[in-house]
Amino acid sequence: MRSIKPKSTLRKRFIAIESNSLVIETIQTESLSHRQRLRMLKLKGTWKANDCNELCFEAAARKGPPKTFTFKGSWKLNKNQQIEYVSEDGVDTLIFKGYWQLSSAKRLVYFLEGSSTSRFEFKVNLESPTLVPKAGQIRYRLGAGIRKNRLTGAATLVILYGEWKFGRNLGLIFQMDYGQGNIKSLEFGAQVTFGRNKVIFTLKNELGEPLGITLTMTHNFLETLDAQAFIRLKSRQKEQAIEAGITIPF
């Protein structure tokens, strides 16, 4: 008579991540004896985002094609502006440490700390192309591919918090605090337009390409933000007015 092997159940959890690796915990439980077998597996690979803005891990394989793990839960930014993932059942919580870069109007990139290959490139839409510097926010809605919030039916909102400062050649810097004294900056070039009691900065990326974002600063806010930059802007405004042979209000 053929013996019947007892069935067992397998439970899998994602318990830790690094810039180029994923740690999986598996617990195998025999149905009759209830004995459990714990196993830890560390996979090497690359983190990325798919077309639906879901977090994915592509595990390297010695033979055959790489295996891709897609994280179907939800993610948000925590108080340190890092990506925090929670699984669908709420059991797994993972924190991705890194920093943000804005290279185009429709794409927001999160580089994982310590990696030259792992990054999340999200399809996004600016909530408003006109920024207010006092708010210290750049607000995005993830692109149409993202799974909508189950409760509200709305697309996920991503808000980057920071402080606007002037950089070299009157470029602009959006300085972000990632916690524990870790400060990094988004740097922008800018085309400057003078208006009555205000200056409009049309932001550009590192390649000089327009981002579709404008930052409007009032006369009073500019003077408070950086008095020296304010004086340099007034000087530039006069030079432009002389060259054009017109009066530019400022």
Q: What is the rounded CA–CA span in Å between residue 120 and residue 50?
A: 9
Q: Which range, 17-21, 127-131, 193-197, has the best average confidence (pLDDT)?
A: 17-21
Q: What is the rounded CA–CA span in Å between residue 85 and residue 17?
A: 11
Q: At residue 248, does pLDDT exceed 70?
A: no
For residue 148, which of 222, 230, 52, 80 has the smallest C-alpha distance? 52
Question: Pairing between strand 93-96 and 83-86?
Answer: antiparallel
Q: What is the rounded CA–CA span in Å between residue 48 and residue 43?
A: 15
Per-residue pLDDT, 144:
41
Between 60 and 48, residue with greater pLDDT: 48
Going by pLDDT thresholds of 50, 70 and 90, the confidence category of residue 34 is low
Burial 90-122 (b: 16+ CB within 10 A, else e): eebebebbbbbbbeebeebbbbbeeeeebbbbb
- DSSP codes of every residue in the chain: -PPPPPPEEEEEEEEEEETTEEEEEEEEEETTT--EEEEEEEEEEEEEE-TTS-EEEEE--SSSSPEEEEE-SEEEE-TTS-EEEE-TTS--EEEE-EEEEEEETTEEEEEETT-SS-EEEEEEEES-SEE-GGG-EEEEEE-TTSPPPTTT-PPPEEEEE-EEEE-GGG-EEEEEE-STT-EEEEEEEEEEEEETTEEEEEEE-TTS-EEEEEEEEEHHHHHHH-HHHHHHHHHHHHHHHHHHTS----
Rounded average pLDDT over 19-45? 82
Q: At residue 6, does pLDDT exceed 60?
A: no
Structure tokens at 56: 């994915």
Share of the chain above pLDDT 90, in %: 34
Per-residue pLDDT, 145:
40
Per-residue pLDDT, 235:
83
Q: What's the CA angle centered on 192, arms 236 and 218, to 5 degrees?
A: 90
Q: At residue 45, does pLDDT exceed 70?
A: yes
Going by pLDDT thresholds of 50, 70 and 90, the confidence category of residue 147 is very low
Per-residue pLDDT, 236:
79
Rounded average pLDDT over 100-127? 90
The domains of the chain are located at 18-244
